[in-house]
Amino acid sequence: MIISTKAIVLRKIKYNDSSLIIDVFTNIEGRKSFFLKGILAGKRTKFKNSYFQPLSQILIKYNKRERKKINFLIDCRLNVQCQNLYMDYYKSSIILFLNEILNMCLIEESSNKNLYHFLESSLKWLNENDKISNFHIIFILKLLEYLGISPNLEKFNSKFLSFENGSFEDTKPEGLYAEGESIKQIIRLLGMKFDDCYLLTISQLQKREILKILLEYIEYHVHGFKKPNSLDILHQVFE
């Protein structure tokens, strides 16, 4: 069966000296893997390596093979030009960071069009705007909703985040939890739009703590998740 769909690049892995295996998150079938033979050989090929930058938005066509984990592309082209994401030093560091998170979180081969639309619109916003302070934190908080693990909030003056219960709580919970001023800031960021992300003033030290809590929370709920390698680079860029 021939399938045409929008897709977002999650990962590319070099296979021998001339080929790539790419993982993408598609609008129709969730996560899919494809083998690109000879794309690195220096010869004229149907596909360009530049199409497969982190979180690049592409249009693909492929022949779906049942019970096969890796498929072959029939056609591929860029869907959205987002050059600002890769030319801007700050935005590119955010892209690398979020790319790692998404690669570890989006593991299901099933359709989630609402999640795809969120990713598509978020990348568009980041490409077109310059006031991007706190964008990556708000992105993660919104992503938790689409992953079905967003912490439940009943009171805005909660002091604890229970990892085990998946909720903000007034009293010290059992099991693994986080507490402190950063919990108050996380609650303030909940539901905030990207357009307003720069309005909340947070110190770099506090941002580090907030990201530490959120990444530990994801690690608790998502099997195989670990601290992104690009986190330290992100911290250095925004200091």
**pLDDT tens for each residue of 99-144:** 999 999 999 888 899 999 999 999 999 999 999 989 999 999 999 9
Q: What is the pLDDT of residues 38-64, one digit of tens each?
A: 888 866 677 888 899 999 999 999 988
Check if 2-78 and 84-238 are the same fold. Answer: no
What are the structure tokens assigned to 180, written together?
Answer: 């402190």
Contact (CB, 8 A) for 105 and 147: yes
Q: Give the domain ranges of the chain.
A: 2-78, 84-238
Residue 214 phi/psi, 5-degree rounding, is: -65, -40
Q: What is the pLDDT of residues 139-190, one digit of tens each?
A: 999 999 999 999 999 888 899 999 999 999 999 999 999 999 999 999 999 9
- In this predicted structure, what is the pLDDT of residue 43? 67
Which CATH number does the domain 84-238 belong to among 3.40.50.800, 3.40.720.10, 1.20.1440.120, 3.10.310.30? 1.20.1440.120
pLDDT exceeds 70 at position 217:
yes
If you average pLDDT over residues 189-212, what whole number do you get?
A: 91
Q: How would you label 101-134 residue by residue, b for 16+ Cβ within 10 Å and e otherwise? A: bbbbbbeeeeebeebbebbbebbebbbeeeebbb
pTM score of the predicted model? 0.94
CA dihedral angle for residue 1, residue 12, residue 147, residue 177, rounded to 10 degrees:
160
Q: Is the dihedral of CA 103, 109, 112, 116 positive or negative?
A: positive
- Looking at domain 2-78, its CATH architecture is Beta Barrel (2.40)
